[in-house]
Structure 1
Amino acid sequence: MAGKNTSISLDDHFADYTRRQVESGEFGSTSEVIRDALRLHEQRAEFKSKLLEEIDEGLASPIDQTFDIDRWYDEAFGKR
């Protein structure tokens, strides 16, 4: 996949960070550092979206009236 050239400005902190990552050999270029950061950001956003969907599903589901917390505790941790 061919990349597009885009110019970005980094403050001193992130400029130093990307330089150190390249100097350490972790990445081959500043572009690789930025692409990795964007991939992680995208993954985190997708995870958050899916998590919120799951939470909404759980909140919308009916409460199990047959659930017995004492029985569950005894089964999980042994009789008290």
Structure 2
Amino acid sequence: MMRTMTVSLSQQQASRVQQAVESGAYASNSEVVRDALRLWEQREEIRALELAKLKRAYDEGMASGAVRPVDAEALLEKFKDKALKRG
């Protein structure tokens, strides 16, 4: 079942919707908006997955043990040495 809604768009947004329909890429304004909402939903799903991944990494880091100091310059040198050895 489709539900009718009133949506306010800026002049530029309305113009882009109209261009999409006039170009034949979409059959109607509603089709453009539905496609835009599908893309938004996909982006939100990806964002939620990424956030969950970051939370897991944070939790794993917190559970990995006590914090220890790191000498940034020594660590950088170590990485450079490894990179040179790999060629």
TM range (shorter): 0.7 to 0.9
TM-score (normalised: structure 1): 0.75
What's the offset of the Cα at 1:58? 1.2
Aligned to 1:51: 50
What's the offset of the Cα at 1:79? 2.3
Aligned to 1:32: 31
TM-score (normalised: structure 2): 0.69
> CA deviation digits over 1:18-52, x for unaligned, max 9?
00000111100000000011111111111101101
Once superposed, which parts of structure 1, at least 4 consecutive aligned residues long, lie more than 3 Å away? Answer: none
Counterpart residue type for residue 9 of structure 1? S
Structure 1: gaps of 5 or more residues: 64-68
CA distance in 1, matches of 2:86, 2:49: 37
Please provide the CA RMSD for this pair.
2.0
Counterpart residue type for residue 28 of structure 1? A
Counterpart residue type for residue 7 of structure 1? T
CA distance in 2, matches of 1:52, 1:10: 30
Larger Rg: 2
How is 1:1-80 mapped onto 2 (pairs within 5 angstroms)?
2-62=1-61, 70=82, 73=83, 79-80=86-87
Equivalent pairs counted in the alignment come to 70
More helix by share: 2
What's the offset of the Cα at 1:4? 0.7
